[in-house]
Structure 1
Amino acid sequence: MILVTGASGYLGTHVLSELRRAGYQAVGLSRREVPGMEMCDLQDAPQLARLMDRMRPDKVIHCAWETPQSLTEYQDDTAATRGLAMVDNLLAATQAPILYVSSMTVYGSQNPFVARREEDAGQPESAYGRAKWAAEQRLRGSGRAGFAVRLPGLFGGGRCNGLIWNLLSALMRGDRLKLPRQPLLWAAMDVRDAARAFPTLCDAPLRSAVPINIGYNDVYSISRLVALLGELTGRAAICDTPHPDFAFDLTRAHALGVDIRQNLRGACHKLMKEVA
């Protein structure tokens, strides 16, 4: 049995659905009462320990985290501390392999531009990124089998906000674009494509907290995104701020059988139908 934490959240909902579609016995865990899910607060160590003693999962996919909703929230040290506490409690409560959802924010800015290999991480520039990186190190230090799954930002799948949704909405209405004024490192993928990677990873050989990049085989930037969305909508779109490029090295993902046959262009084209 696979236990999915944060299963009532944005990514966790889709991960749980994809696992069940792939034939896995998967159980969702949520801190609030949700029909068909187990309820547990991961910051309550005794409560979590009791649940794990009762359920004894074969694997845990740890999606639960307070994902920032604004640039300011990326520097929230208190939320970062709570995220690390959940990982510590999880490590203490179960010996099951853990597939931990990490983030592209564990990579710092690099100049000149290179595709990020898993070994390039370790210079995060936000409280959120530092906490995600620290959690990876704790998992690795524990010797626990599993993966640290590094994802870009997520969109689609029912979420009606975020950078891509807002830009598409503005372009399709003919409104002025609201863009970050400072250069930002950025990448994204449809949440449903991200979720589809997890059944494959559950089948892969599990070693000691191996980091793995999951994303599209694209070069990302906000500047490139604006040009892409302008092309897709047929509307004039200009980004005055030069934003840096980012790309994942996906060699390890491909070697493990994760093959996402989508790209950012295709995902944005599909999202246009949801926005409309």
Structure 2
Amino acid sequence: MILVTGATGTIGSELLRQLVASGIPALGMTRREVPGFVRADFEDPDSLRKAIEGVDTVFLLSAPGPLVPAHDLAMVAAAVDGGVSKIVKLSAIGTMPGSWHDAGERAIRESGLAWTILRPTGFASNVLRWLPAIRAGQPIPNQTGDGQHAFVDPRDVAAVAAAALVSPDHDEQTYTLTGPELLSVPDQVAVMSDVLGQALRVVDVPLKVYAEQLRAAGLDDAFVSVAVRGAELVRDGGGRTVTDDVERVLARPAGTFRAWVESNRAAFA
């Protein structure tokens, strides 16, 4: 039995779908009451202990934010105490000492359990956050200038996670998951314009303005700082990482951004 945390999110929901479609026993975990899901909270150790009863393997996905280290450590502790045999953790590309995912990665490596760590780049599906601007006929905000990034299809991330969960071939491996091509936001918008048949525009957003927008949206300073640093890294050319890890695990090329837009055309209607 596999327990999938973050089961209602982008990767968790797709991973559950793929596991169920393959006939692999899996349960989704969520903090809210959702029919058919296990209700548990990273900040409630008793609920975690109950969630892993009868579970062999855990897919660990903690929502981005400063609570990631505490949430990861809580699940690792529960998994070790509960007799889980393997953890597959969704981390982030470029994880460094002291970053949100660092403590969880170290705890998993030192847990004595079988483990795999996945470090995806930005998801192709992140462009869905542009929907309000697209529908309002407004230009798409660009915080990263001409900086390029190898956006990965979330379905590929979930497929790699599924492979790591069910096979020992990926134990003690850290995979950096990227798409096959480097694209800037203007590049993405050009692809979307072509596929959707719309003349979409881009407007540059200075990082100072971006930070102000995030604070105005109610995000705390810890999140704002990480988001701005990430945008600055890409803007300055630090996001130009492309790997073949998806292809090596799945024995097929990683999906392109264009293919993701084409298969999700209805979402932009």
**Distance (whole Å) between structure 2 residues aligned to residue 42 and residue 33 of structure 1:** 15
Residue correspondence of structure 1 range 1-276 to structure 2 within 5 A: 1-52=1-52, 54-55=53-54, 57-63=55-61, 65-67=62-64, 76-77=65-66, 79-93=67-81, 94-106=83-95, 122=96, 130-154=99-123, 156=125, 162=126, 164-167=127-130, 170=133, 174-180=137-143, 186-206=149-169, 209-232=172-195, 233=197, 235=199, 237-238=201-202, 243=235, 244=237, 245-250=239-244, 252-276=245-269
One-letter code of the match for 1:147? T
**Distance (whole Å) between structure 1 residues aligned to residue 78 and residue 148 of structure 2:** 31
Indicate how the Cα distance of structure 1 residues 10 and 86 shifts in structure 2: closer, same or farther if over 3 A, else same: farther
Is the deviation greater in 239-248 or in 79-88? 239-248
* Deviation per residue, 1:69-94 (Å, 9 max, x gap): xxxxxxx53x2343334344344334
Is the deviation greater in 175-184 or in 36-45? 175-184
- State the match for 2:217 in structure 1: none
Q: Is residue 168–residue 229 contact of structure 1 (8 Å, CA) maintained in 2?
A: no
- How far off is 1:166 after superposition? 4.4
- How far off is 1:21 after superposition? 0.4
**Distance (whole Å) between structure 2 residues aligned to residue 14 and residue 249 of structure 1:** 22
Is the deviation greater in 145-154 or in 252-261? 252-261
- State the match for 2:227 in structure 1: none
Indicate how the Cα distance of structure 1 residues 195 and 255 shifts in structure 2: closer, same or farther if over 3 A, else same: closer
Indicate how the Cα distance of structure 1 residues 261 and 186 shifts in structure 2: closer, same or farther if over 3 A, else same: closer
- How far off is 1:6 after superposition? 2.0
Indicate how the Cα distance of structure 1 residues 261 and 83 shifts in structure 2: closer, same or farther if over 3 A, else same: same
Indicate how the Cα distance of structure 1 residues 136 and 2 shifts in structure 2: closer, same or farther if over 3 A, else same: same
Structure 1 unmatched ranges of 5 or more: 68-75, 107-121, 157-161
SS of the equivalent of 1:3 reads: strand
Indicate how the Cα distance of structure 1 residues 18 and 132 shifts in structure 2: closer, same or farther if over 3 A, else same: same
TM-score by length of 1: 0.71
C-alpha RMSD of the superposition: 3.1
Structure 2 unmatched ranges of 5 or more: 206-233
Q: Is residue 69–residue 104 contact of structure 2 (8 Å, CA) maintained in 1?
A: no
Q: Is residue 186–residue 221 contact of structure 1 (8 Å, CA) maintained in 2?
A: yes
Indicate how the Cα distance of structure 1 residues 86 and 218 shifts in structure 2: closer, same or farther if over 3 A, else same: farther
Q: Is residue 149–residue 213 contact of structure 1 (8 Å, CA) maintained in 2?
A: yes
**Distance (whole Å) between structure 2 residues aligned to residue 257 and residue 190 of structure 1:** 13
SS of the equivalent of 1:269 reads: helix
Indicate how the Cα distance of structure 1 residues 189 and 253 shifts in structure 2: closer, same or farther if over 3 A, else same: closer
- How far off is 1:169 after superposition? 6.1
Aligned residues: 237
